[in-house]
Structure 1
Amino acid sequence: MTEPTLPLVDAAWLADHLDDPRLRIVDATVHLSFDENGAHIASADETYRAEHIPGAVFVDQDAALSRDDTPIRFTPVDSERFAEVLGDAGIGDEDTVVVYDHANGIWATRLWWHLGYEGFDRVKVLDGGLAAWKAAGLSTESGEVRLPAATFTARRRPDRVVSTTEVEAAIDDDGVLLVNALAPEDFARGHIPGSVNVPFASLVQENGTLKDAGALREIFAAAGALDPAVRPVTYCGGGIAATAAAFALLAAGRGDVAIYDGSMTEWTADPSRPLEIPDPRMGGE
C-alpha cells in the first residue's frame, strides 16, 4: 500500500484501504472524566461495541496494556505481555496498523507511542478519529470484530522514555527541554522546574484534526523545542497527552522526542521534588 510520509492518515485514505488484507484498524479509546473527586477512568469496550469503524478491533489500553502492580496508572506492561495482547488482537509483524479514538486523539497517540516503544513502526493515526470518519459521511458498524491470532514481536526501545531520575538531572541540563502538554491552568498550578508549556489542545484544530506542519513548527519554535541543541522530553499528568505532543513534534520535524511516562503523577508522589509555580503578579508563564 502507499504509505504517507507522516504517520497520519485521513478518513479518505483509510476508506480507500479498508479492503487491504494487511491493514489492522484499532479503536484505542479510554474513557477519562473529571469531577470534584478527581479523575475517573473506564473501559470503552461498550462504546466500541455500539459503534466503530468497519473491521476495527478494540484494544483496552488500561486493562490490557497497563501494569496493575504499580500506583502509576498506565505504566506499560512488559514486552512479552504487550506482544501477547497485540497478537491476540490479530496484529502481526507485517501488518499496518491505524489507530483512532472516540475522544480528542490522545488515546490514539498513546497507542501509536506504545507500539513505537515496542519497536513497531508500521502504525498510523487517523486524523480526527471517529468524529472525522463520521463527518466524512462514512459508515460505522456495531458488535465485536475478532481476527485470527497473529505473531507480534516486541523489541523495546528504552530511549523512548526517561525516568524520574533522568528528569531530575534534566532540570539543570541545557541539552534537555521539558515540555508540559497540560492546559495552561494546570501548568500554572505547578510544574517541573524549567518546563515550557505547550498545551496539547493548542496543537489541533477545532474539529480535532492536527494543525498543519507550518503551524506546529511555529508553536514549537516559540517554545524552543525545535532548537537542535536540545532534546525535547514531553510530559503531562499521566503520560497520555504527552504522546500527543510527541506526535505533533514529529510532524514539526523532531523525531528524537522522549516521554516522561510517569509525568506529574510520579513526580508529585514524592513531596520533596520541586515544583515551579509562576507568580501571577509577574504575568508569568
Structure 2
Amino acid sequence: MSEPKPHTVSPEWLYEQLADEDLVIVDATTHLTMPPDGSVHIEPGLATYLEAHIPGAVYADLFTDFSDHHAAQPFTAAPSERFATAAGAVGIGDGRRVVVYDQSSGIWAARLWWQLRLEGFDDAAVLDGGLPAWTASGYPVSDEQVIPHAATFTSHRRPELLRSTDEVRGALDDPHTLIINALDPATYRGESPSYPRRGHIPGSINIPFGDLVDPSTGRLKPTAELRVVFEKAGALDPDVHPVTYCGGGIAASGLAHALAVAGRSDVAVYDGSLNAWTADESLPLVEGPDPR
C-alpha cells in the first residue's frame, strides 16, 4: 500500500526538492480587501510574484483562470473542463507533484489545494507558512517569471467535497452534518458590516481559520493542537460530515485543509458561502455567539 500524500510540507523539505523535474511549485497569491463601505476589491498577485517568488515557481491566477465567471459569486470553483485547462496551462498535470503557497495567510494556497482535490488530484500539498516561512528559513527568492511547461490534467471530480446552497439548506436539521463557519467571531456573531445581512447559518459552529495559525510564524499550529480543537467541536467524529463555509469559500478551504492535516480529508466546502446564503432573503440567519 502506498503512503498517504502529505497535505502540508515544510520549507526545508521543499528546498531539498527544488531539482525535481516532476515537482510543480505554484504561487497562488491573491489580494482581497474589504473597505468599510462593504465593497470587495480583488487584485491578482502577479505583481508581488514578479517581485519575489520561490525559484522555479509558476504563478496561478485563482480569480481569472480558476473561477467560474458565469457564477453569481466571485471565486466559485470553475467547472472541471475549465479547471483542467487552467491547471494544465501552469504545468499541473498527470504524474506531477504540486506544492502550492501564497504570500500571506495560506488560505489562497489552500484554495487551490482544495480545488485540486475536488478534481481528483491528490499529490498536492501546501507550503506551511508560505513565502514568509521560506524567506525566514534563509532560502533564496527569484524575480524572474517562469514560463510553465504545459501538461495534461485529467479531472475526476469528487462531488462529495462540494456543497451547494440547496444542499446546505437541506442539511440544517441533519444531525450527521456539522456546518462550520471559518470566519472571525465578530463576523460569526453578526457584528461585521461586511454583509448586507448579518449573522451565521443556523446550527453552524465557529472555528476561525485564524485561530489555527501560529501568529509568530504564520504556520499551522501543531497537528496535535489542531486535533484538540477539532475533536472538541466534534469535527473528527466519523459519524458526522463536516461542511465548512466563510464569506466566499476561501477561508473555508483553509479550514478544510487544516482538517485534512488533522486527519479528516473528506470535508466538504460550501463554495457559495455567505455570499450566496445572504443573497437569498428567504434563507435564515442567526446572530449571537457560538452556542457550544
Tell me, yes or no, whether TM beats 0.5. yes
Aligned partners of 1:208 and 1:93: how far apart in 2? 31
Aligned partners of 1:92 and 1:259: how far apart in 2? 23
How many angstroms does 1:96 deviate by?
0.3
Aligned partners of 2:71 and 2:267: how far apart in 1? 25
Aligned partners of 1:70 and 1:284: how far apart in 2? 33
SS in 1 for 2:34: strand
Aligned partners of 1:63 and 1:105: how far apart in 2? 19
Q: Does residue 195 of structure 1 match 2:204? A: yes
The equivalent residue for 1:42 is 43
The equivalent residue for 1:162 is 163
2:223 counterpart (213, 226, 230): 213
Aligned partners of 2:265 and 2:124: how far apart in 1? 15
What whole-Å deviation, never above 9, does each CA across 1:98-121 have from its counterpart, x for those lacking one? 000001000000000001111111
Aligned partners of 1:108 and 1:48: how far apart in 2? 13
The alpha-carbon distance between structure 1 residues 147 and 5, as it changes in their structure 2 partners (threshold 3 A), is: closer
Residue type matched to 2:225 in 1? Answer: A
The answer as to whether partners of 2:5 and 2:123 remain within 8 angstroms in 1 is no
The answer as to whether partners of 2:10 and 2:128 remain within 8 angstroms in 1 is yes
Aligned partners of 2:281 and 2:274: how far apart in 1? 12
Q: How many residues align?
A: 281
The equivalent residue for 2:124 is 123
How many angstroms does 1:227 deviate by?
2.0
Superposition RMSD in Å = 1.6
Aligned partners of 1:15 and 1:82: how far apart in 2? 28
Residue type matched to 2:187 in 1? Answer: D
The equivalent residue for 1:14 is 14
Residue type matched to 1:239 in 2? Answer: G
The equivalent residue for 1:106 is 107
What whole-Å deviation, never above 9, does each CA across 1:22-76 have from its counterpart, x for those lacking one? 0100001110112112321111111111110000000100001112122211112
The equivalent residue for 1:242 is 252
Q: TM-score, normalised by structure 1?
A: 0.95
Aligned partners of 2:106 and 2:76: how far apart in 1? 19
The answer as to whether partners of 2:205 and 2:291 remain within 8 angstroms in 1 is no
The equivalent residue for 2:196 is none
Residue type matched to 1:66 in 2? Answer: S
How many angstroms does 1:5 deviate by?
5.1
The equivalent residue for 2:24 is 24
Q: Does residue 33 of structure 1 match 2:33? A: yes
The unaligned stretches of length 5 or more in structure 1 are none
SS in 2 for 1:97: strand
The answer as to whether partners of 2:5 and 2:122 remain within 8 angstroms in 1 is no
SS in 1 for 2:33: strand
Aligned partners of 1:156 and 1:251: how far apart in 2? 21
Aligned partners of 1:69 and 1:212: how far apart in 2? 39
SS in 2 for 1:35: coil
The equivalent residue for 1:227 is 237
What whole-Å deviation, never above 9, does each CA across 1:172-229 have from its counterpart, x for those lacking one? 0001000000000000001000000000001111111011111011111221212222
Residue type matched to 1:41 in 2? Answer: I
Aligned partners of 1:13 and 1:3: how far apart in 2? 17
Percent identity between the aligned chains?
A: 51
Residue type matched to 2:91 in 1? Answer: G
Aligned partners of 1:203 and 1:89: how far apart in 2? 30
Residue type matched to 1:74 in 2? Answer: F
Aligned partners of 1:84 and 1:166: how far apart in 2? 28
Residue type matched to 1:56 in 2? Answer: A
SS in 2 for 1:246: helix
Aligned partners of 2:255 and 2:168: how far apart in 1? 17
Residue type matched to 1:116 in 2? Answer: R
Aligned partners of 2:265 and 2:291: how far apart in 1? 30
Aligned partners of 2:141 and 2:214: how far apart in 1? 24
Q: Structure 1 stretches (4+) deviating beyond 4 angstroms?
A: 2-5
Aligned partners of 2:159 and 2:4: how far apart in 1? 26
Residue type matched to 2:85 in 1? Answer: E
